[in-house]
Amino acid sequence: MADLAAVKRALTAQRIETPSWAYGNSGTRFKVFAQPGVPRNPEEKLADAAEVHRYTGVAPAVALHIPWDKVDDYAKLNAYAESLGIEIGAINTNVFQDDDYKLGSVTNPDPRIRRKATDHLLEAVDIMDQTGSRDLKLWFSDGLNYPGQDDLRNRQDRLAAALRETYDRLGDHQRILLEYKLFEPAFYATDVPDWGTSYAHCIELGERATVCIDTGHHAPGTNIEFIVAFLLRQKKLGAFDFNSRFYADDDLMVGSADPFQLFRIMYEIVRGDALNPAYGISFMLDQCHNIERKIPAIIRSVMNVQEATAKALLVDRDALTRAQDAGDVLEANAVLMDAYNTDVRPLLAEVRTDAGLDPDPIGAYRRSGHDEKIIATRVGGNQAGWGA
Ligand code: LRH
Ligand code: MN
Ligand code: MN
């Protein structure tokens, strides 16, 4: 039996970082459905993130995306976050929305454009110095649409050079999270398509470069928990971008499409003793809420991660090891499924009550009147990232 007091302590200590862009309008390439009351500036995104933290108690950090969250004074923005009881987390770079990057950013054949892209990465580190952020999250849309379009291998050399320059600029407490993605926007070849490529670049860079797993960035059927287990063993897992997908990079609420997969991922985290923030893995959301109200959707997403985590913590690991060692296939599978099939909602309600929170975060948010207030007061908000 799992030790219930220890399970509760682990759930209380858990931290989930929310993305600034999830609070703003977003959509598909066909249509952005603007919602009333969305943030008009980074300050209002922080205010919404503070609401998520207020009702969940486990989401005190918000990731920024530059230039979507560009301000004149980041130290001031940081102080504002602190005044709301939250903090600025990862700084995400954006080298994918400029005409110059049509043929790539840091892997572009044109040295002028590579310089421009690398300068943006360095600028992001300057921002981290002001916000006190630890994490620089890099995702490159770089890739090719047609065979022969550019030299695959030269592009790896260019990527390595930009990463090296950026890594060497990091302060002692800062690190690179290198995200990968199988395809999109490039359809023939992507320069960082998979965890192996990211891992190899991180090894080359050094200790303070680790892999970020975005759960929506794999081929269908990929065993993501295997990647988690492997990278943990190598001490090269740095972060997650959590979301759900039915088809490709759908960016739906985490735990909505495949809660069992999320449980299997969180089991590997628990198995690797990597849940506590002190271990250094950043559990971030990277989602878009195109048709649903954003703040309650993000609260729901945080709760989904908590539920998967609670189930993972409830796995009877002694019984599992015994069954595995005995080669008892059915019993080992049953032990895992017993935990997955447990209704952990009462346990999480208890954890919230113990922490002085409402046991029903979404209900509490709805009753707070915040949604009505932002709809009434934020006129003309259609900012933020994908919708901009
Ligand atoms: C790319 C991605 C990456 C970006 C974010 C907005 O698909 O997952 O993390 O920074 O979306
Ligand atoms: Mn991502
Ligand atoms: Mn993505």
ipTM at complex level: 0.99
Q: Relative to the alpha carbon of 286, which ligand is closest?
A: 2
List of domains in the chain: 16-308 (3.20.20.150)
Of ligand 1's atoms, which has the minimum distance to the CA of residue 212? 9
Tokens of 63: 């990731």
Averaged pLDDT of the chain? 97
Calculate the CA 37 to chain-centre distance: 24
Any atom of ligand 1 within 6 Å of the Cβ of 139: yes
Nearest to 16 by CA among 259, 306, 352: 306
**What is residue 353's three-state secondary structure?**
helix
Calculate the CA 174 to chain-centre distance: 17
For ligand 1, the distance from its centroid to the CA atom of residue 139, given in whole angstroms, is 6
**Protein residue whose Cα sits closest to atom 2 of ligand 1:** 139
- The enclosing H or E element of 92 equals strand 87-92
Any atom of ligand 1 within 6 Å of the Cβ of 268: no
| 95-125 pLDDT, tens digit each | 999 999 999 999 999 999 999 999 999 999 9
Contact (Cβ atoms closer than 8 angstroms) between residue 86 and residue 62: yes
Q: Relative to the alpha carbon of 20, which ligand is closest?
A: 1
Question: Which residues keep their CB under 5 angstroms from ion ligand 3?
Answer: 249
Cα separation of 261 and 308, whole Å?
9
| 266-316 pLDDT, tens digit each | 999 999 999 999 999 999 999 999 999 999 999 999 999 999 999 999 999
| 123-149 pLDDT, tens digit each | 999 999 999 999 999 999 999 999 999
Any atom of ligand 1 within 6 Å of the Cβ of 190: no
Tokens of 224: 């993501």
pLDDT tens, N- to C-terminus, the chain (388 residues): 789 999 999 999 999 999 999 999 999 989 999 999 999 999 999 999 999 999 999 999 999 999 999 999 999 999 999 999 999 999 999 999 999 999 999 999 999 999 999 999 999 999 999 999 999 999 999 999 999 999 999 999 999 999 999 999 999 999 999 999 999 999 999 999 999 999 999 999 999 999 999 999 999 999 999 999 999 999 999 999 999 999 999 999 999 999 999 999 999 999 999 999 999 999 999 999 999 999 999 999 999 999 999 999 999 999 999 999 999 999 999 999 999 999 999 999 999 999 999 999 999 999 999 999 999 999 876 544 654 4
